[in-house]
Structure formats: structure tokens, C-alpha cells
Chain A
Amino acid sequence: QKEVEQDPGPLSVPEGAIVSLNCTYSNSAFQYFMWYRQYSRKGPELLMYTYSSGNKEDGRFTAQVDKSSKYISLFIRDSQPSDSATYLCAMSGGSNYKLTFGKGTLLTVNP
């Protein structure tokens, strides 16, 4: 079983839709959870960073962590064409400082 699983998509939604992106993980040592947005041919940009279970909101973005289920989500409200990108989940914890990434989900928001 891979440490982090993320559906690669692609996911295509109309402008204004609510988008739900998800990752599951197997390593119970993971304590820190991140979402990155990556535009084509650019480096990943940090969107959200959470530590505990529960929700964290930042504008149109909400990150949700359920440690009991080993499941994290990113919700995007009122999606915009500028949200079209690849979204990567990442997490860390345990005996070293490394981040473990999902493979990313390609999102397209159609105007």
C-alpha cells in the first residue's frame, strides 16, 4: 500500500462549482498536512497547512483532516478558471523531516 494515495483525475468542473479534492494515507505517524497548487511548468505553491484534525478555512479554500480515517480533503468554493491547476497533498511526521506527496489531481475549471 502506498503511503499517500491521491486520485489523479483529471477533474473538470464549471465555474462556480464546489470542488472536493482528497487524499488517503497509511502512515499513522503523519501529523502535518499540506495542500499545494501547481500551475503548468511552475513550482508548487503552498495553499494550506494544518496540524490537527478538523477544518481550516482560508478564503475560498477549506482544508479538512480526519486522522481517525487517515483522510484529508481540500474544498474550493466558487471555483474560478484561475483555479485550474494540479493540486498536490503532502504530509509529514515520524522520524524525519521529509514531506511525502500524493501524485496530484489535475483540475480544470471551465468558464
Chain B
Amino acid sequence: SQTIHQWPATLVQPVGSPLSLECTVEGTSNPNLYWYRQAAGRGLQLLFYSVGIGQISSEVPQNLSASRPQDRQFILSSKKLLLSDSGFYLCAWSPLKGYTEAFFGQGTRLTVV
């Protein structure tokens, strides 16, 4: 069966520090991969999605970047965190290159102080 791992679960980082969140998927190949941010009252905001290794699409201009160094690995990064980067970050995958459902990891709650 397919599983998605996302870590860490919680993170407290000072302003200006770097960020690296990692997500891996097991039990499938060539998934679509996504990074979302969820803020209270604002729903799920799509940050990045990837349809293959090295292929990243950015949805909103921001202080973050994403990379996909391997087929089932998706990384969310920042060189210098801002207070406004605080939030609940979710990684997700969908099994086919088409319009199918997405499956989410358990999320990382990031607090920038």
C-alpha cells in the first residue's frame, strides 16, 4: 500500500533562519506531488506542484522554493524565514497524471518567532 511521510511534525524557527521540510512517498511511482499551506480561515493554499523529477510549478510568489530530487521525494525550502511563513504545511500526492484524488501527509506546523 502507498504511504506518505512528512517531517518534522512541529518546528519552531527564528526569523531569518533557513527551512527544509521533507516529504517522501512509498509504494507508488511517478506520483504528482504537492505542497500546500493551510492558514486559519483561509483554507488550503497550493504552493507548489510537481509532475516529475526536477519539474516544479509555483502557484504563488513567496519566500519559499521546492525541489524534487528523486521521483518520490519533495522538499520545501526557504533561505530566510519570515514571520508570515508560519502555518501548517501539508505534502500530498496523487497516483496518476490525471484528475484523481490526492492523499495528504500529517503536516508540519511551523512557527516562525
Instruction: Report the bound CA distance from A97 to B90 in whole Å.
Output: 17
- Are the CB atoms of B106 and A103 closer together than 8 Å? no
Instruction: Report the bound CA distance from A98 to B99 in whole Å.
Output: 8
Given A43-B107, A103-B41, A103-B42, also A93-B101 (CB < 8 A): no
Chain A residues engaging chain B, CB cutoff 8 angstroms: 8, 31-32, 34, 36, 41-46, 49, 88, 90, 92-93, 97-99, 101-104
Instruction: Report the bound CA distance from A88 to B92 in whole Å.
Output: 15
Chain B residues engaging chain A, CB cutoff 8 angstroms: 6, 32, 34, 41-44, 46, 49, 51, 59, 88, 90, 92, 94, 97-107, 109
Instruction: Report the bound CA distance from A104 to B42 in whole Å.
Output: 9
- Are the CB atoms of B49 and A97 closer together than 8 Å? yes
Q: What would 12 more interface pairs be, CB under 8 Å, given A32-B99, A46-B103, A97-B98?
A: A31-B99, A32-B101, A41-B107, A41-B109, A43-B107, A44-B90, A90-B102, A97-B32, A98-B59, A99-B34, A99-B46, A103-B42
- Are the CB atoms of B43 and A46 closer together than 8 Å? no
- Are the CB atoms of B42 and A45 closer together than 8 Å? no
- Are the CB atoms of B105 and A99 closer together than 8 Å? no
- Are the CB atoms of A97 and B105 closer together than 8 Å? no
Q: Within 8 Å CB of A41, what residues of B?
A: 88, 107, 109
Instruction: Report the bound CA distance from A101 to B59 in whole Å.
Output: 14
- Are the CB atoms of A46 and B101 closer together than 8 Å? yes
- Are the CB atoms of A97 and B94 closer together than 8 Å? yes
